[in-house]
Every structure is written in structure tokens, then in C-alpha cells.
Amino acid sequence: MNGSPSPLNPTSGSLLGFLMGGGAMTGWELYRAVEETTGHFWNVTRSQVYRELRDLERRRLIVAGEPGPRGRVPYELTSAGRDAFGRWLESGPGPDLIRHHLLLTVFFADHLPADVLSEILRSSLREHERVLDTFRHLKDGMDDSLPGATLTFGIRYEELVVQWIHETLSGLSRRSLAEVDGLASEE
């Protein structure tokens, strides 16, 4: 490679972090670790995990071990991988990018019937309330560690989304009533 190595993306960096703390892990084990922890705020698909593992191995930041049961290959960090993880972590996160599907739907909701939008919002409300309950339950067993701080953020985020959905539903109800009143006065 010429010059300095290309920087790690957040997904690659996080996979190195799991290997840093967990020793050798297969792609499947890494995916499960992500799903159970950072997957609540950093979504990663299985295909991304395997794609990033191939790239990390090509860059010699990890090394593949001997295949085990079901042909699953364990990966370990190399010293270059430990150094790359340290540089990635110290470089800071950069700007947050919001990708919130419900916000996108509501932005274009003038093209939806009010009852359809209302059902979408109610369905999202149920899901966010479920996640909020899960996070609160997880937080009960946690101390004031830094992973606990990320869980506190998750709780506050879900509380905010639940409140926003309630407010949006309330505004939608007022809008629907005003539209009905407007139709009645035209008659």
C-alpha cells in the first residue's frame, strides 16, 4: 500500500473493537455481538459484517484462523489491527447522520390518507414503546459504566420519539377535525 492506510469506516472500526475485547470470533459471533449491543444504535447487516471482514483481512488488520464447525472461520486482530482500531477510536466520530424512516414517511405524508398515516404512526409508537421497555429493563441491571451511558441515551431517545409520535398524532387529529369542519361549512 502506498502512503498512509485508508481510514476505517465505523462498521470496520466497531468490528475491530469487538475483536479487541472478545478475542477470536467468527463472522456469525460478531454479528450476534453487534445485534445484542451496538445494534440498538448502529445497525449492521450480516452481509456488511462479512464484507468488512474480507476487507479487514485484505488490509492485514485481522487474520483468519482454521475453520470450525459449519465451516465458520474465527478471526483475530493483528498488531496492525490493534493500532488501526486505536487510531480510529481516537479520531473521533465525525458528524451524526440521521436516517429515520418514520421521519421520511411523515415528511411526505401529505400524499397519504390521514387514516393510513395514523396507523403508521400508531404502529411505530407500539414499536418504540417496546424498545423503550427493553432498554429500561436492560438498564436496571447495569451500573454507571460507559456502555450504561449509551443505554441511557437510548432510553432518552426512545422517550423523545414516543413523545413526538404522540404530538404528531394529536396534530393529525386536529388537522382531520379541521378538514371535516371545513367540508361541513362548504355545504
Q: Mark whether 109 and 156 lie in a shared domain.
A: yes
- Residue 30 included in any domain: yes
**Which three cell numbers, joined as nine digits, stand for 40?**
440498538
How many domains does one find in the chain? 2
Rounded distance, CA 143 to CA 88, Å? 27
pLDDT in tens, the chain (187 residues): 455 678 899 999 999 999 998 789 999 999 999 998 888 788 899 999 999 999 999 999 999 999 988 889 999 999 999 999 999 999 988 888 888 899 999 999 999 998 999 999 999 999 999 999 999 998 887 777 888 899 999 999 999 999 999 999 999 877 665 554 554 555 5
Which of helix, strand or coil describes residue 148? Answer: helix
Enter the DSSP assignment of 109: G
Q: Mark whether 137 and 162 lie in a shared domain.
A: yes
Q: Mark whether 80 and 110 lie in a shared domain.
A: no
Please give the pLDDT value at position 93. Answer: 87
Measure CA 108 to chain center: 23
Type and span of the H or E element at 76 = strand 74-77
Q: Mark whether 124 and 55 lie in a shared domain.
A: no
Please give the pLDDT value at position 23. Answer: 86
- Residue 113 included in any domain: yes
92 burial class (0-12, 13-18, 19+ CB within 10 angstroms)?
A: exposed
Residue written as grid cell 421521519: 103
What CATH number is given to the structural domain containing 40? 1.10.10.10
pTM of this structure = 0.72
Backbone angles phi, psi at 76, to 5 degrees: -130, 155
Please give the pLDDT value at position 83. Answer: 95
Q: Mark whether 18 and 64 lie in a shared domain.
A: yes
Residue 21 β-bridge partners: none
Per-residue DSSP letters for 12-75? HHHHHHHHHHH-SEEHHHHHHHHHHTGGGTS---HHHHHHHHHHHHHTTSEEE----GGGPPEE
Please give the pLDDT value at position 95. Answer: 86
> In terms of residue numbers, what domain contains 50?
10-90
CA distances to 117, 121, 165 from 101, in Å: 13, 11, 13
Measure CA 27 to chain center: 18
Please give the pLDDT value at position 1. Answer: 45
